[in-house]
Amino acid sequence: DGSCNPIEGCLSPQACNFNPNANQDDGSCDFLSCLATGCTDLEACNYDEEAQVNDGTCDYPEEGRDCDGNCLEDADGDDVCDGDEIPGCTSSTALNYNPIATDDNGTCQEPVGGCTNPEACNFDVLATNDDGTCEFESCAGCLQEAACNYDATALYADDSCEFPPFGYDCDGNCLLDEDGDGVCDPFEIAGCQDLAACNYNPAATDPGQCNYATPNFDCDGNSLRPIFTAFPANVTVQGWQVPAVEDAVVEAVVSPFAPGFEATYNGNLCYDEADAPVISFDGETRIDGVCEHDYTLFRSWTATDCSGYTRTREQIIVVVDTVPPVVFVPEDATILCQDIDVADLGEATGTDDCGEVTIELVEEIIPGDCPGSYTIVRTFHAMDPCLNTASGQQIVTVVDNEAPVLEALADVVISCSEALPTTLPAATDNCSSAEVTVVETIIPGDCPQTYTVERAFTAVDECGNESTSLQKVEVVDDSAPFVVSGFAGCDDASTCAIGINELEGESIPEANLVIGDDCDDNPTYTATDVVLSSSEALEVVLREYILTDACGNALTLFEQFDVTLINEGCMDEAACNYDDQANVQDDSCDFCSCGENACGCTDDEACNYDAEAEYEDDTCTYPDPGFDCDGVCYDVNDNGICDFEEAGCTDESACNYDPFAQVEDGSCDYCCAHETFTSTEADYGVSIDLVQTHTSGDLAGMSTYRVYVTTPNNEDVLTAVTGGDEFPLALHTTTSFYQNVFGGCLGSNISPAMMVVAPDAAYDSWVTIGATSSDDLGDGEAQLIPGAWIDSFEEGNSITVDDNIGSGWYLIPPGGLNGVSGDDNRVLVAQLTTDGVISGSFRVQIFPSGDQVNDVRPDLTFQQQPLGAFACPIIEEGPSDAVASCDDVPGLPGANDFVVSYSNAEASAFGCEGDLEVSLVSDETTAGTCPGQYTIARTVKVENCAGGSAEYTYVIEVIDDSAPQFVSVPADYTLECSEGLVFDDAAATDNCGEVTIDVTSETIAGNATGNYTVVRTFVATDECGNSSEAVQIITVEDTTAPVFDFVPADYTAECSDELVLEDAAASDNCNGAAIEVATEIIEGSATGNYTVVRTFTATDDAGNSASATQTITVEDTTAPELTVPADYTSECSDDLILDDASATDNCGEVTIEVSSETIAGDAAGNYTVVR
């Protein structure tokens, strides 16, 4: 209706007031107002034959009476029908009077008067009727032992208890009096007994604490000091305004509390004569401040009364200088932000009438719109000596009007795979930071990945001044696409050919490259296959890929496929037509045409079976079915009739029982439909569920079934089950129906509580429409149409109603939920418990999808199939087809591998317990291409505890995909190049067959003749072609250094001798050795003293080396040859001639040192000089 409000009304299409526009049920549905209502029960006194719906107004005669109220039987004529007579005591005064008794049976017990209350003092145990004489006083008394009048004989406590006063005993004596003063301790009063104390207590019996007045105060805390009534106020004045002392007005009176306190506590009556205090000036005190005219005066006066009470009061006079100085400030100014740090802003001056002025500068910076634009408020505070202040302000305006300096970035050329530059140019500003922004404009090139980016930079300082620059970035694409995945080739496709084996179902894969490009999101490729060569067993195919991007960059790749082709033929060498080129075994093998093999009939069931034949030649002959090889038919019962003429299922409980069969052929089927039915209306039928097979108790041997009417729609409503002369109502069993004593004809006659008390009641036989207990009555109640069949059915008999009146049962109200088909499209109409086979017929009234106008009335019959049929399992889930390794073929599945259901019963209904049992029916094996590969079609039987079974088939594909395992592989080892190599064999096993081991060896040269590696590869292959590899690595090393065969001996030589330098000789275990000589000269103590160390290093080509040394010691043992001036004699007056000496040496330079000694003689002119 265009609003969001719900439309309330009746939503049930079956209701008389159904509202098709409503979308919210308001509970107003009416199912009866449109139908003719009245009493529809033929046995009611007001039966209305025109009524369609029973409105509950049926009026029935009382039990045993007719509709006029007359007793049908009344032997004593007391208008109480014989069936209603109740025996009992009819005396209203008797203890056992029965108000509903109609016949007195002499059992009345009259009452005996007396007190019947067991708690009364006069309780009478013989009394049956209380006469009101009970009394409770004669045996009452005080039961509290602490009372003075405690009565131990009393039965009940009354209010008579008497107790002594608190603190006393029953004789009036104190219970506690420690001080013996005749006052009981609880009543002692502690208090002050001093008449001078403020808290003196005349009633105190024991001393307590006394409180006295505080000096200058009375007992109530009132001050006793004089009170000033006039006094000069505290003032603040300029220096010339200080008031004189003599001008002060000071007055006082005595305290109003002093005369009374003094008279009461001290006996002082002085106030009668001196009623005013004496006032005296105490003087003044001056405290100076910070300046001449800044000080404070403290003046005090004291008032004293006649009792000596005093009070002093003080006047405070504050003398001040409050005239401020005068300040002069610089003029306001406007300055550029970069000049502010060096600008001269000026200073302020000040004057004062009373002294020097000090000036303090306070600067406040008021931010502007940006860092380079702001205002400096310079406030000058002037102060005089008395701290009077004055101030003035100078306003300095700072401005920023210069743009930043922006760096110019160079133009660049980059590949499209490179990231675009993000670097921004540097910018500097005179007064603030500068923000650089960029706007990039793309100018397309010749292809999508080639373009130019113009980067326009703008630098803006914080005051909005800006500058710009431009950079050009040229982007180019010169890279071809590349392969991400899907390519299995290499530079030379023939060296990495891909093997395709059609024998294993392989084929050349479709080209499926995943390619990428540094710049193109959608590069493309083409693939072209060319057959390079072909034979019956092998085809070589070359695939060319060309990868291209949008800018024309291209990459060409190749893959080669070596395809093993299928070549079918006979591969058995014993066959007459053996084909040694075939690689797939077909069915063409012929073993018999060439006459070289033993051929014949190999089937031992054939009439011409040949035990010596190795190959089948298709000549087997068999007897006709039912006959032996001599043409005589089988006759197991020797009745002269061939078995095949009288074979069939001989079990009467089987679905396919053949009453004419004399020979059981094993064809009996128990898992057919659970019931058969007929219906006059399509899509309507009967379904029977097995509820329980009973194995113990009163129900042992019986089974409980539930009969349902099936409908095509889940909203169909079943309203009545009837039968008559047109079509009979029948419920039959081949034996009898079980009827429980607590049950009834209707399923709703039994409550769930009764089923708990009497469990067998749950299996009572009854009819219904949907309801199974009294708890279901809220969704509709089934009503019985009167008839003799009801009692007969309750007696356990099969019933048939086929008269012209008819009978049955129906649902009130007709559209009740109990009659709705629901999700399972069926409605329960009966529960039947019997040890026989059930069957029946009836007519039902159904409102299709709730349509009460166009009802459907099918005639239905049903026949239960054998009990065992209910137990036939339906396999919902079982083992899936599986792939198993040849060494791990699974065994039979277990019960837990199956999920079964039952179409018309639960497993608990079979009356037995136990897991499902699984047994093998057959394994059909189909051979594969090798011994470890084959297929098993396995059929198993799943059987439950009740004997119901079903077969299940699944396929196990057995594969041999496990390579052989090496059990021993020669260990890697390392040996010297001079030792002999040892080649041990490897051993391997396979999980499913024989193993062949192939060995290949590869020698890998090292860095020297004696250094190399032998790699032995063992390939173990099983019968299915699975292989595994193992590698033994033998490392041959040359680790032995050469050996010197000769090293020159050490020797010592004179420095002047020629050195003899002989060569050393060496040999190696694997190859020759090269000898290098290093000579080291170690200097000695003189030029001719030194050592020559010759180090011989012999090295083979593996780098192993050995060293030996020869030491040659060179010595200078020969002294120089010295030539000295000749001795001579000279006169003491002659000058001494001191010639030099000379010397030579065999090995080096000579240094001559001269020392002189003068030896005195016997006179001054006589002496000897020894040089």
Q: Which DSSP string corresponds to 261-272?
A: HIIIII---GGG
Looking at 927, 959, 991, the residue that finishes a domain is 959
Residues 697 and 838 in one domain: yes
Residues 557 and 490 in one domain: yes
Q: Give CA–CA dist 228/304, Å, rounded.
A: 11
Residues 258 and 298 in one domain: yes
- Per the CB < 8 A criterion, the answer to whether 1002 and 1015 are in contact is yes
pLDDT in tens, 420-450: 898 899 998 888 888 899 999 999 988 888 9
DSSP string for 688-751 = EEEEEE--SGGGTT-EEEEEEEE-SSTT-EEEEEEE-SSS-EEEEESS-B---TT--SBGGGS-
Q: What is the CATH number of the domain that holds 1008?
A: 2.60.40.10
pLDDT in tens, 840-895: 999 999 999 999 999 999 999 999 877 777 778 888 899 999 999 998 999 999 98
Residues 818 and 933 in one domain: no
Residues 881 and 993 in one domain: no
Task: Enter the tokens of residue 560.
Answer: 């080669």
Q: Give CA–CA dist 162/144, Å, rounded.
A: 9
E strand or H helix at 131, and its extent?
none
Q: Which residue has the tokens 């099918």?
A: 858
Percent residues over pLDDT 70 in the chain: 99
pLDDT confidence band for 674 (50 / 70 / 90): low
pLDDT confidence band for 354 (50 / 70 / 90): low
Looking at 988, 1017, 1037, the residue that finishes a domain is 1037
pLDDT in tens, 588-619: 888 898 988 999 999 998 999 999 988 888 89
Residue 646 resides in a domain: no
Residue 617 resides in a domain: no
Residues 1062 and 1142 in one domain: no
- Per the CB < 8 A criterion, the answer to whether 1106 and 1041 are in contact is yes
Looking at 456, 476, 496, the residue that finishes a domain is 476
> Taking 90 as the threshold, does the pLDDT of residue 8 lie above it?
no
Residues 846 and 771 in one domain: yes
Task: Enter the tokens of residue 1083.
Answer: 């200097």
Q: Give CA–CA dist 131/109, Å, rounded.
A: 17
Category of 818 on φ-ψ map: left (φ > 0), alpha (ψ -120 to 50) or beta: alpha
What distance lies between CA 1024 and its chain's CA centroid? 47
Residues 233 and 354 in one domain: no
Mean of the per-residue pLDDT values of the chain: 88
Q: Which of these, 141, 191, 149, 190, lies nearest to 170 by C-alpha position?
A: 149
Q: First vs last Cα of the chain: how many Å apart? A: 153
E strand or H helix at 759, and its extent?
none
Among the ranges given (56-60, 402-406, 883-887, 894-898), the one the predictor scored with the smallest mean pLDDT: 56-60
Residue 765 resides in a domain: yes
E strand or H helix at 792, and its extent?
helix 789-794
Q: Give CA–CA dist 126/115, Å, rounded.
A: 9
Residue 665 resides in a domain: no
pLDDT confidence band for 400 (50 / 70 / 90): confident
Q: Give CA–CA dist 476/417, Å, rounded.
A: 9
Q: Give CA–CA dist 606/438, Å, rounded.
A: 99
- Per the CB < 8 A criterion, the answer to whether 192 and 212 are in contact is no
Q: Which residue has the higher pLDDT, 671 or 342?
A: 342
Residues of the domain holding 1159:
1122-1170
User: Is the peptide bond between 873 and the residue preceding it cis, with omega within 30 degrees of 0?
Assistant: no
Residue 857 has a pLDDT of 96
Residue 530 resides in a domain: yes
**Contact partners, residue 398, CB within 8 Å, separation at least 6:** 334, 335, 336, 337, 340, 368, 372, 373, 374, 375, 376
pLDDT in tens, 884-895: 999 899 999 998
Q: For the beta carbon of residue 546, count every other beta carbon within 10 angstroms.
A: 14
Residues 722 and 858 in one domain: yes
Task: Enter the tokens of residue 487.
Answer: 């390519």
User: Quick one: DSSP state of residue 756?
Assistant: H
- Stretch 106-112: mean pLDDT: 81
Among the ranges given (13-27, 322-336, 363-377, 778-792), the one the predictor scored with the smallest mean pLDDT: 13-27
* Structural domain count of the chain: 10
pLDDT in tens, 1144-1156: 888 878 889 999 8
What distance lies between CA 346 and its chain's CA centroid? 76
Residue 827 resides in a domain: yes
The 3-class secondary structure across 1116-1128, one letter per residue, is CCCCCEEECCCCC
Helix (H, G, I), strand (E, B) or coil at 598: coil
- Per the CB < 8 A criterion, the answer to whether 1081 and 1055 are in contact is no
Residues 866 and 726 in one domain: yes
Q: Give CA–CA dist 411/472, Å, rounded.
A: 5
Residues 393 and 260 in one domain: no
Q: Which of these, 467, 362, 495, lies nearest to 405 by C-alpha position?
A: 467
pLDDT confidence band for 672 (50 / 70 / 90): low
Residue 813 resides in a domain: yes
Point out which residues pair with 1086 in neighbouring strands: 1089
Between CA 497 and CA 501, with CA 500 as vertex, the angle to 5 degrees is 140
Q: Which of these, 1108, 1112, 1109, lies nearest to 1090 by C-alpha position?
A: 1112
- Per the CB < 8 A criterion, the answer to whether 163 and 147 are in contact is yes
Task: Enter the tokens of residue 961.
Answer: 């995909």
The residue length of the chain stands at 1171
pLDDT confidence band for 621 (50 / 70 / 90): very high
Residue 566 has a pLDDT of 85
Q: Which residue has the higher pLDDT, 761 or 49?
A: 761
Residue 671 has a pLDDT of 67
Helix (H, G, I), strand (E, B) or coil at 776: helix
Residue 915 resides in a domain: yes
Residues 760 and 842 in one domain: yes
Residue 1022 has a pLDDT of 92
> Taking 70 as the threshold, does the pLDDT of residue 971 lie above it?
yes
Q: What is the CATH number of the domain that holds 550?
A: 2.60.40
Task: Enter the tokens of residue 1003.
Answer: 């020698």
Q: Which residue has the tokens 């009493």?
A: 39
Q: Which residue has the tokens 């003044």?
A: 284
Q: Give CA–CA dist 201/192, Å, rounded.
A: 5
Q: Which residue has the higher pLDDT, 779 or 32?
A: 779
> Taking 80 as the threshold, does the pLDDT of residue 278 lie above it?
yes
User: Quick one: DSSP state of residue 856?
Assistant: B
Task: Please report, as a single letter, which amino acid is at residue 777.
Answer: L
Q: Is 981 exposed, middle or buried (0-12, 13-18, 19+ CB in 10 A)?
A: exposed
Q: Give CA–CA dist 965/961, Å, rounded.
A: 12
Point out which residues pair with 452 in neighbouring strands: 443, 474
Q: Which residue has the tokens 């969704």?
A: 779
The pTM of the full predicted model, rounded to 2 decimals, is 0.37
